[in-house]
């Protein structure tokens, strides 16, 4: 597990809206992909190797969670882990770890499918609104599981020790729900059909790998996925390689737009970032892309050429990602004109904007889901505390373009999803250091 000092903080001396950052930055493996791939190792009858694994806290938490079940996971070298097959594993998810990791719920699918029983607490994670698990409970009931809730622990038991294939319709698209039931269906009896499934590219990436190893999954990447259940999977010579993190890539693209004179973002799959790139292009950003790189070269020394579009609405893929909403708001504070930001996925995810107003941003709250951002406002360095993973990085971007010094506390939230972020920023020219109290 990655050991982090919870009392560490960042000190950042801002650029005062000058575009001086230069260099290249490589995008790491996707957090939202590798966590589900780690959970999928429960479906295998042999050892499985995972490559391009990011060195982030959430990966450490997931490995700790799986290890507490009895799984044997070892690091072979940087970015490479081997998950050994274990005949005996527990059905009880560690409450302490699960309560801090939202993705822990995805482990319930393969575990219930393999053992016929699973116990877990309400999952935790970032405090960005309610995340009810009714979708999961209802889906497992449709697959024949009985549910008991006792002392804050859910215990699900499959009839005769085996889940049954079922038709599952999501009232609201859910990435985690889609992946959970897709994996559960791999070992269930009969056919499982998921309707109104999420479309995120990470889902198809996982399904393609599982199919290489013996799964029978059709339609991943579309709104209807069919899974024909079978036996435990065999990895053979197949290794799982984590795809690039499109949210991290989008965050660096926004930083590059605001603060770089010449920056190249490598190992970047831009095909999953079309909504962001179209907005930035409409705002006036010039960039060049290849299959795996994005190059930003700013001719102007400030952001006076950027113009806000009228409205941005977060939406399930391929719409604008909710995980890029906070960094995008930083961009909106610097472009001319007004923009309505409409957060449709999570309530409470706009709370971080109060601190941006303290920095000098002009942001008016309409309701818990909508704000109006008026741009071309100079930001001033302040002392802040990261409220969650994505807003935490948005604060870092705000501090970089601000005038003066900023101190950002609670950076544990940032470390959960971004590998060695201060070193990578320093390599681009950011004046940032990590300090321990």
- Helix H segments across 166-273? 175-187, 201-212, 246-259
Question: Is residue 63, in this structure, part of any structural domain at all?
Answer: yes
How many C-beta neighbours within 10 Å does residue 373 have?
Answer: 26
**How far apart are alpha carbons 136 and 80 in whole angstroms?**
31
The SS3 assignment for 48 reads strand
pLDDT at 301 over 80: no
Last residue of one domain, picked from the residues 226, 241, 256 = 241
**How far apart are alpha carbons 411 and 388 in whole angstroms?**
9
Ordered strands of the 383-385 beta sheet: 383-385, 405-409, 8-13, 431-436
The per-residue DSSP string of 317-375 comes to TTSB-GGGHHHHHHHHHHSBSEEEEE--S-TTTTTTHHHHHHTT-EEEEEETTEEEEE-
| 307 lies in the same domain as 192 | no
Question: Is residue 178, in this structure, part of any structural domain at all?
Answer: yes
- The length of the chain is 437
- Helix H segments across 91-214? 95-98, 108-115, 134-142, 175-187, 201-212
Last residue of one domain, picked from the residues 177, 211, 241 = 241
What is the predicted pLDDT for the residue at 88? Answer: 94
Residue that wins the pLDDT comparison between 271 and 2: 271
Q: What are phi and psi of 259, to 5 degrees?
A: -135, 0
What is the predicted pLDDT for the residue at 131? Answer: 52
| 133 lies in the same domain as 270 | no
Average pLDDT of the residues of the chain: 94
**How far apart are alpha carbons 130 and 378 in whole angstroms?**
34
pLDDT at 206 over 90: yes
Least confident stretch, 23-27, 88-92, 151-155, 371-375? 151-155
| 281 lies in the same domain as 214 | no
| 138 lies in the same domain as 40 | yes
What is the predicted pLDDT for the residue at 125? Answer: 47
How many C-beta neighbours within 10 Å does residue 38 have?
Answer: 26
What is the predicted pLDDT for the residue at 259? Answer: 97
Report the CATH number that the domain containing residue 347 is assigned in CATH.
Answer: 3.65.10.10
Cβ neighbours of residue 273 under 8 Å, at least 6 residues apart? 246, 249, 250, 253
Question: Is residue 2, in this structure, part of any structural domain at all?
Answer: no
| 249 lies in the same domain as 154 | no
How many C-beta neighbours within 10 Å does residue 50 have?
Answer: 24
Contact 373, 388 (CB under 8 A): no
* pLDDT (average), residues 400-404: 98
Peptide bond into 318 cis (omega under 30): yes
Question: Is residue 383, in this structure, part of any structural domain at all?
Answer: yes
| 229 lies in the same domain as 203 | yes
What is the predicted pLDDT for the residue at 6? Answer: 59
pLDDT tens per residue, range 215-234: 999 999 999 999 999 999 99
Contact 51, 239 (CB under 8 A): yes
* pLDDT (average), residues 159-175: 96
| 108 lies in the same domain as 174 | yes
Question: Is residue 82, in this structure, part of any structural domain at all?
Answer: yes
Question: Is residue 256, in this structure, part of any structural domain at all?
Answer: yes
What is the predicted pLDDT for the residue at 167? Answer: 98
Active site residue 86: no
Report the predicted TM-score, pTM, of the whole model to 2 decimal places.
0.94
Least confident stretch, 64-73, 270-279, 290-299? 290-299
| 232 lies in the same domain as 338 | no
- The closest alpha carbon to 254, from 310, 316, 338, 335, belongs to 335
What is the predicted pLDDT for the residue at 300? Answer: 79
| Total domains, the chain | 2
| 101 lies in the same domain as 156 | yes
* pLDDT (average), residues 289-307: 89
pLDDT category of residue 2 using cuts at 50, 70 and 90: very low
| 147 lies in the same domain as 82 | yes
pLDDT at 402 over 80: yes
What is the predicted pLDDT for the residue at 151? Answer: 86
Beta-strand relationship, 224-228 and 191-195: antiparallel
**How far apart are alpha carbons 305 and 335 in whole angstroms?**
8
**H/E segment holding residue 149:** strand 145-150
- For CA atoms 169, 30, 331, 297, the dihedral sign is negative
* pLDDT (average), residues 257-276: 96
Question: Is residue 432, in this structure, part of any structural domain at all?
Answer: yes
pLDDT tens per residue, range 39-74: 999 999 999 999 999 999 999 999 999 999 999 999
Least confident stretch, 31-45, 118-132, 186-200, 352-366? 118-132
| 43 lies in the same domain as 12 | no
Domain extent at residue 384? 8-27+244-436
pLDDT tens per residue, range 115-142: 999 999 877 544 444 456 899 999 999 9
Q: What are phi and psi of 104, to 5 degrees?
A: -60, -30
Last residue of one domain, picked from the residues 241, 262, 287 = 241
CA torsion, ordered 64, 67, 69, 71, to nearest 10 deg: 150
How many C-beta neighbours within 10 Å does residue 295 have?
Answer: 17
| 43 lies in the same domain as 192 | yes
Question: Is residue 291, in this structure, part of any structural domain at all?
Answer: yes
Write down the catalytic residue from 71, 126, 268, 339: 126
């Amino acid at each position: 597990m990655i050991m982090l000092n919870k009392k560490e903080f960042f000190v950042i001396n801002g650029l005062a809206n000058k575009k001086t950052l230069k260099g290249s930055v490589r995008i790491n493996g996707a957090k939202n992909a590798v966590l589900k791939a780690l959970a999928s190792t429960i479906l295998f009858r042999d050892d499985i190797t995972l490559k391009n694994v990011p060195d982030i806290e959430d990966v450490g938490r997931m490995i700790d969670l799986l290890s507490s079940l009895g799984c044997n996971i070892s690091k072979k070298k940087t970015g490479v882990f081997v998950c050994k097959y274990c005949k005996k594993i527990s059905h009880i998810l560690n409450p302490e770890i699960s309560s801090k990791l939202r993705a822990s719920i995805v482990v319930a699918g393969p575990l219930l499918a393999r053992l016929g029983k699973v116990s877990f607490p309400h999952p935790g994670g970032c405090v960005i609104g309610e995340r009810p698990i009714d979708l999961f409970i209802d889906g497992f009931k449709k697959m024949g599981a009985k549910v008991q809730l006792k002392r804050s622990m859910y215990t699900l038991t499959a009839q005769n020790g085996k889940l049954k294939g079922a038709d599952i319709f999501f009232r609201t698209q859910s990435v985690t729900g889609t992946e959970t039931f897709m994996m559960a269906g791999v070992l269930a009896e009969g056919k499982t059909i998921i309707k109104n499934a999420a479309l995120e590219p990470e889902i198809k990436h996982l399904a393609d790998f599982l199919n290489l190893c013996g799964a029978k999954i059709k339609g991943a990447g579309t709104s209807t996925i069919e899974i024909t259940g079978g036996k435990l999977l065999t990895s053979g010579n197949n290794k799982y390689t984590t795809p690039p993190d499109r949210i991290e890539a989008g965050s660096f693209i926004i930083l590059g737009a605001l603060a770089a004179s010449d920056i190249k973002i490598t190992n970047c799959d831009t095909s999953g970032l079309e909504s962001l790139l179209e907005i930035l292009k409409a705002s006036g950003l010039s960039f060049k892309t290849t299959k795996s790189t994005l190059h930003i070269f700013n001719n102007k020394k400030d952001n006076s050429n950027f113009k806000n579009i009228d409205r941005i609405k977060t939406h399930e893929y391929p719409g604008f990602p909710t995980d890029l909403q906070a960094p995008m708001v930083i961009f909106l504070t610097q472009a001319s004109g007004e923009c309505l930001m409409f957060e449709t996925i999570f309530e409470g995810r706009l709370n971080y904007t109060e601190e941006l107003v303290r920095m000098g941003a002009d942001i008016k709250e309409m309701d818990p889901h909508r704000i109006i951002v008026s741009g071309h406002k100079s930001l001033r360095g302040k002392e802040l505390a990261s409220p969650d993973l994505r807003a935490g990085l948005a604060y870092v971007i705000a501090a970089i373009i601000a005038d003066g010094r900023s101190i950002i506390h609670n950076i544990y939230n940032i470390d959960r999803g971004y590998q060695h972020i201060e070193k990578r920023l320093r390599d681009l020219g950011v004046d940032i250091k990590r300090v321990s109290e």
